[in-house]
Amino acid sequence: MIGDKNVMLGRNFAMLEKRSWQKLLPIALALITITFIWKELSDLLGPPTASQAPSSPSYTLLTRDSASSTASTASRLPDDDYNKLIDLSFDFTSLNSEPCNSSVLLLVLVHSSPGNGAKRRAIRETWGRRDADVRLVFAVGGVEEAASRRSLDAEQRLHGDLVQGSFLDSYRNLTYKHVMGLKYFVYHCPQAKYVLKTDDDVFVNMPSMKNFLRYDLSPYGVGGGLFCTPRYNSLVLRSYRSKWRVSFSEYPEKFYPTYCPGWTLLYSPDVALGLYKEAQISEYFWIDDIHLTGTLTRRLNVTHTDIERLVLSDNKVYYIFYYPAGEVAPFLYGRELNEGQIRALWGYVVKREAPKFIFRKFG
Ligand SMILES: *[C@@H]1O[C@H](CO)[C@@H](O)[C@H](O)[C@H]1NC(C)=O
Ligand SMILES: *[C@@H]1O[C@H](CO)[C@@H](O)[C@H](O)[C@H]1NC(C)=O
Ligand SMILES: *[C@@H]1O[C@H](CO)[C@@H](O)[C@H](O)[C@H]1NC(C)=O
C-alpha cells in the first residue's frame, strides 16, 4: 500500500512537474519572442530623432504690426483655381449664409457625414453655439439619394451652417472634403486668425480655446503653426482586413511621415493657405490627415506642435459624465464622443470660468 502510494505520489509529482513545464514553456517562448521583436523594432525605428521633441516653438506669435491678412492672397491664385478641387472640377453646391468679417478669431471646419444630423445638432447646442468670435461650418459632400438631399437642404435653410461641395461624400473622398474646407477658408473666410479642422464626434472646449488662442498664443494669430497630436513612425497598413489598407501603388513607402490624426488640427492661416495651394497641385491620396499633415506638411517644412496634453483622456470623460461636480485639469479637446458625452462636457464647461494663461508655459 505504502509502496503504491509512493509510486502514486511520485507519478503525481512527475505530472505536476510536467504540467508546470507545459505552462512555463509558452511563457518563456513568449518572453523570448517579445524581446526579439522589441529589439528588431527598436533597430528598425532607430533612436528617437530630435524632430520628435522640438525644444523651441516652431511658430511665431504675431503682433498688431506683424499681422498680415491672407485676404489678398486669394487674388494671387490661378484663375481656374476656384472651380477646381485637386483633380476634379468643383463648385460649392451649398454655402453657409453669413459672410466672415475681421472679428472672426477662429474658423472651425467640422467634417461631418450627411447622415449625422444628430451629431451636428449636439454641436450647435453646445460648444458650437453662435459666437461673434467664431465661425463654425460643417463640411459635407454630395449625396445621391433624393430624400437625404432634401433633408440637408432643410437643415441648411434652418441653420445656414453647411458647406457642401460637388463630390460624393465617401471615406475615400475625405481628402476632397479637407481641401474643400481649406478652399472655403481661402475664398470665403480669409479673415480668420486661426483655422481648426475637426470631426463631429469631438468636443472643443470653446471658452478655453478662445483664451488659449488669445492669451497663450496671440489675438493676431501665429505664423507657421500646426497644433495637433503628432504620430511618429506609423506603419502603412497593408492588411486586406483594414479599412485603412493602402496598396503599394497608392503609397510605396513602409512608414508614413510624421502626421497628425485629423480630429484636431489647428492651422495658422499661412499654413492653411500653403497646404491648400500644395494640395491643389499634388497627387490625390485618400487618407486626408496623412496627406495634408504628413506628406504635404513635410514638403512645406512645417513643424507640428504637440498639444496631446490638452486632450481629455477617456477616463476623465467618464469622470465628468458621472461626477459633473468633480474637477479635472484644464483641457481643450475630448474625442470619440457620443452626443450625451458632448452635452455632459458642455454642462461641465459652462459652470466654470475658463482659465486664462493656464497654458502659458506651453510653447
Ligand atoms: C462681424 O459679423 C458679426 C455677425 O456676423 C457682427 O456681429 C459683427 O458686428 C461684425 N463685425 C464687424 C467688425 O463688422
Ligand atoms: C468621389 O467623388 C467623385 C466626384 O463626385 C466621384 O466621381 C467618385 O466616385 C467618388 N469616389 C468615391 C470612392 O466615392
Ligand atoms: C524645405 O527645406 C529644405 C531643406 O532645408 C529646402 O531645400 C526646401 O527648399 C524647403 N522647402 C520649402 C517649401 O521651404
CATH for 150: 3.90.550
Pairing state between β 264-267 and 194-199? antiparallel
C-alpha of residue 42 to centroid of ligand 2, in Å: 40
Q: Could you tell me which residue, 3 or 137, shows the higher pLDDT?
A: 137
Task: Please report which ligand is nearest the Cα atom of 170.
Answer: 2
Average confidence (pLDDT) over 194-203 = 98
Q: Is 6 within a domain?
A: no
Q: Establish if 44 belongs to a structural domain.
A: no
Cα 160 to ligand 3 centre (Å): 41
Identify the helix (H) or strand (E) that includes residue 204: strand 203-204
Output the CA–CA distances (angstroms, integers) from residue 194 to 190, 203, 220, 247, 360, in the order listed: 10, 17, 9, 35, 18
Q: Is 121 among the domain residues?
A: yes
Whether the pLDDT of residue 69 is over 60: the answer is: no
Domain-embedded: residue 46: no
Single-letter amino acid, residue 318? Y
- Mutation test residue for ligand 3: of 299, 301, 303, the one with most atoms within 8 Å of CB: 301
User: Which position has the higher pLDDT, 32 or 186?
Assistant: 186
Q: In this structure, which residue's CA is closest to atom 11 in ligand 3? A: 300
Helix (H, G, I), strand (E, B) or coil at 33: helix
The x, y and z cell numbers of residue 355, run together, are 482659465
Q: Is the pLDDT of residue 340 over 90?
A: yes
**pLDDT band at residue 21, thresholds of 50, 70 and 90?**
low
Confidence (pLDDT) at 22: 65
Is residue 81, in this structure, part of any structural domain at all?
A: yes
Atom of ligand 1 nearest to the CA of 98: 5
In this structure, the residue with its CA closest to atom 8 of ligand 2 is: 168
Query: 86: left (phi > 0), else alpha (psi -120 to 50), else beta?
Result: left
User: Which of 100, 103, 105, 130 is the pocket-test mutation for ligand 1 (most atoms within 8 Å of CB)?
Assistant: 103
Q: Kindly state the average pLDDT of the residues 274-281.
A: 98
- The atom number, within ligand 2, closest to the CA of 172 reads 13
Ligand 1, residue 102: give the atom nearest the CA.
13
Domain assignment of residue 228, yes or no: yes
Instruction: Please state, in angstroms and rounded to a whole number, the distance separating the CA atoms of residues 176 and 242.
Output: 21
Residue with CA closest to ligand 1 atom 14:
101
Q: Please compute Rg for the chain using Cα positions.
A: 26
In a domain, 341, yes or no: no
Gap from CA of 199 to ligand 1 centroid (Å): 26
110 in any annotated domain: yes
Split at pLDDT 50, 70, 90, the class of 356 is confident
189 CA to centre of ligand 1 in angstroms? 13
Q: Is-contact 292 257, C-beta < 8 A?
A: no
* Ligand in closest contact with the CA of 168: 2
Model confidence, pTM: 0.84
Number of domains the chain contains: 1
Residue 301 CA, closest ligand 3 atom number: 1
Mean pLDDT, residues 146-166: 96
Which pLDDT band, with edges at 50, 70 and 90, does 49 fall under? very low
- Could you give the CA distance from residue 4 to residue 116 in angstroms, rounded to a whole number? 75
For residues 297-316, average pLDDT: 94
What is the average per-residue pLDDT within 287-298? Answer: 97
Q: Which of 273, 216, 259, 240 has its CA nearest to residue 70?
A: 273
Average pLDDT over residues 113-142: 97
Helix (H), strand (E) counts: the chain = 10, 14
Distance 31 CA to ligand 3 centre (A): 45
From the CB of 301, is ligand 3 less than 6 Å away?
yes
| pLDDT over 50 (residue 1) | no
Query: Is the CB of 286 within 6 Å of ligand 2?
Result: no
Most confident of 19-23, 65-69, 272-276: 272-276
- Ligand 3 near 300 CB (within 6 A): yes
Q: What value does the mean pLDDT of the chain take?
A: 87
The partner residues of 255 in beta bridges, in order of sequence, read: 235
> Could you list the residue range(s) of the whole structural domain that residue 273 is in?
62-311
The per-residue pLDDT for 9 is 45
pLDDT digits (tens, 9 = 90+) for 169-184: 999 999 999 999 999 9
- Average pLDDT, stretch 332-340? 96
pLDDT at 111: 98
- The dihedral through the CA atoms of 128, 132, 134, 137 has a sign that is positive
Q: In the predicted model, what is the mean pLDDT of residues 247-263?
A: 96
Average pLDDT of the segment spanning 110-126: 98
pLDDT at residue 19 tops 90: no
pLDDT category of residue 57 using cuts at 50, 70 and 90: confident
